Structure formats: C-alpha cells, structure tokens
Structure 1
C-alpha cells in the first residue's frame, strides 16, 4: 500500500529530471544501474533533493527507464505509461510518489504505480497526441485514450471540457483551472503532476 493522497510539489528540482533523463544516454553500463531498484525511496529523494547528485540521478533515471521498457515488453500492452514523450515524466512521477513513501524500495513504488495506472494502460494502435506549450517551445506527447479519460475526469470534477481525446483551448483552460484549484505545479498539460492528482483521486 502506498500513500498517494497528500503531497506537495517538489520545487524546480523535479523539472530538471527531463534534462537529466535526456543526458542519461552517456556511457553507463547495465550492471552499474542494476541494483538501483533495491534502493529505498529515501535514498532516491535524498539524491535528488539533498545531495543534488547529478550522476546518481542519471543512473536512477536509467534504471526507471529500463524498468518501464522491460515491463512494457512482458505485459502485452503497447505502453503501460500514458505519456509517450518525454519519458522524464515517468521519472518525475516516481519521484513524487517516492517522496511520500520513503521506506519503500524503488522497484516497489515503480511496480505499484504501474498497477495504479492500470486503467490508463495503452493498447496497440492508440494514436498519439502532440501537445505544445510554453509558447510552442515545448512539447509533450500523450496517447489519445489517456487524454480522453483525463478529460472525462476533469468533467466529472465540474470542469467544462468535452471528452473527445483532442487538444484545444477548451481542454487547456480546463487543465489550467484544475491545476490552479489543486495548487499543482507545472504547465496546463497532462503531465506527471496531473497524473499524481489523477491516481490520488482513485
């Protein structure tokens, strides 16, 4: 059992995770990250928020990316995580949950999170939707079924949005208002901070 309900956004450190993940293509061996899943969440969050150890953060990101890839291969699903790109959102989500479950091991939280996301697992041929933000300078790619379910969730919470799986100004405004009302970090998009709120509401 993991705690999902009470959390505070973790400063701008989590926004750096996307950069760290992009940098993790540097020459690191598989064996160098193999044991990272056995580390406690307290060690993980201390690396990110306390020591600010960039090299260790990259290795943790590599392990989480490899874990997700492996689970995708063995699950028979196209994708177990509803955000296709950037994969740094997966790393960020685990950091958020780990911050509330510091006694758990990283692999336990990663596995538990995928279980919690079961209704958002992606099947074959689910089209991707590109969402541009930050004045068109940034982009996140999510799956259409996830966007539609996110819109349905927002609508159930009283926000004016049509659950059609398409991105537009009306959907963006709904995300913006929801994040403002819930005091969530990040832009008006379905990112890790939004997913955290989504699974916390289950």
Structure 2
C-alpha cells in the first residue's frame, strides 16, 4: 500500500445513516453448498425486509462474478480473494446503513471469520444453509454436480474441494426440512429477538 494513501473520515457517520433509515445495519452471511438454497433464501428474506420498509441489498455469488470479481477463478487463492472482496464491500454497505445479505458458498471457515473480523461485534450474522449433499445433487439447478463428478469442473465444493461447516453459526436453516416460508420466518424471528428488526 502506498504511504500516500490515508483514510478520510466521512462527515456523516454510520449511526446517523442508520438513524435516517430507522434500523441497524449488518451482514446476513448465507453459507452452504451449491444448491442448498442460499440465493433463494437470501432473496426471500430481502423481500420480507422490503415489505417492512427496511433498506437491504443482496450480494449474490454468481452476480458478483459478472462484474466486481469477474477476473477471479475457482482456485483456493481466488476463492479466498473473492470472499475478502465481498467482506470489504459488505463493510461499506453496513457503513451506509444498509442490511447486506450475501449468498456465497464461502467454503472455508478462515475466510468467513476474516469477514467477521472486519466489522463490529454483532454485525456479522452467519447463517448456515444446511442441506445434505444428496439433496443438493438432486436439486442441481445448474447441472454443476454432474459436471463435477464427470471431472469437467475441477475444485468443486462438496465433490473435489472441501466445505468446512460453520463451528458456531448464529443460525442453522435446514432447507431440506423446512419450506421457504418457514426458513424466512426463522431468520426474521431471530432478527426480531435480537432487537435488530422491529416486531
């Protein structure tokens, strides 16, 4: 980093932005295997937040790779950089007073903990979207598991690359047991009980 780069404090603070919006800002970090339902759940939760006039935004793994991270591949180093960048972007959204929902496999605990360390305590809510590998393969909306098992896609999480389950996530949503409505309710109820969302 250049010695000529310094951090400039903004005139408007995070707490002032939150006050204007009428709610706290934080990250809802949805992690899980491909096909577990991360994007579906994140978007359904955002719809509920929108209906409550809550300011939020979904950062989706595939969408981010169309722009911000389009130059990254799927090696372990690139995956780590992918998550680091998303963590930094999410931190900016929090400062803007926006609830950020991220839907990334983010297979490595170390990377998720790095993002947690970027923000204040209580601003990173890890949600393990838990579905069995069999369920995810049966869903396989993009046909990725078949390609991975055929050796067409290397370094594929759950097949040729590991997924490290969260040790102590704030929430576990078993999407192979709950409906999408039940899953959304579980997330929203958690936010309400934590005082992060008005009942």
Alignment TM-score, normalising by the size of structure 1:
0.27
**Bigger relative contact order (CA 8 A; separation at least 6):** 2
- Higher-Rg member (1/2): 2
Alignment TM-score, normalising by the size of structure 2:
0.27
Bigger share in helix:
1
Bigger share in strand:
2
